[in-house]
């Protein structure tokens, strides 16, 4: 492998890790922020060597999110029922 090929591999690795380090910095900075979801770097290997930084992926608990959506719907239904019954009583 030529020297330029090796330097290209090193360059892609440094750029990818730079992007991943930026995401790590955001995670550390926002660790105590309410509602912040952790982000993970998406890296893929290149054919012939090197790495490509594809961006970031938000990670969250889909089961907890589904529970929140369900409970919000139930709360909205109960609130609508309570308003309807209050208007009948008045």
Given this model, what pLDDT does residue 72 score?
Answer: 94
Given this model, what pLDDT does residue 35 score?
Answer: 82
Do 64 and 50 form a contact (C-beta atoms < 8 A)? no
- What does the DSSP 8-state code read for residue 60? -
Mean pLDDT by 10 residues, the chain (90 residues): 90 94 94 89 91 90 86 94 88
Given this model, what pLDDT does residue 16 score?
Answer: 94
Residue 30 CB partners (closer than 8 Å, separation 6+): 36
Per-residue b/e over 16-55, b at no fewer than 16 CB within 10 Å? beebbeebeeebeeeeeeeeeeebebebeeeeeebbebee
């Amino acid at each position: 492998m030529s020297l330029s090929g090796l330097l290209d591999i090193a360059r892609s690795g440094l750029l990818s890790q730079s992007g991943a380090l930026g995401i790590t910095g955001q995670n550390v900075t926002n660790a105590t922020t309410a509602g912040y979801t952790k982000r993970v770097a998406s890296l893929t290997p290149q054919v012939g060597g090197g790495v490509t930084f594809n961006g970031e992926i938000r990670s969250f608990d889909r089961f907890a999110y589904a529970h929140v959506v369900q409970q919000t719907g139930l709360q909205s239904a109960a609130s609508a029922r309570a308003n309807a019954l209050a208007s009948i009583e008045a």
